Amino acid sequence: MMNEGQIPNEQQNSDIFKNDIDNAYSQSAYALAALRALIQQKMAMPRPAFIPFYQGFYWLFCMTAPLQGPSRELEIIVQIQNWFDKRNIDQQRVKEGAALFEKWSEILDATGIHTLSK
């Protein structure tokens, strides 16, 4: 742990970044579970329920897409960017986002950026 006034070293910065990725992943997964519950109950897709998933996935994507492994996955990157640009919020968009999140999670796992089996 750092003392007050210390400059973080490279390892501390790396740990902070890994924690940010873990937090974004967890937020996205938790929010997606809530959205899937709404779909199971055949409820409408209210914007307040959608926003946490969108924000978490966007945060995770923005932090990890530029990294060496994921940046090679151009096709999925374009699909995710197009999904972020859509304006509608409905069950189909949630299902598409869930599939993209799962694909992105597999890429992060394969490249060792975020391991799903922690």
- Here the tokens at position 82 are 């197009």
pTM for this prediction: 0.82
Contacts of 7 (CB under 8 A, 6+ apart): none
Furthest-apart CA pair in the chain: how many Å? 53
Residues 58-85 pLDDT 10s: 999 999 999 988 889 999 999 999 999 9
Tokens standing for 77? 């990157």
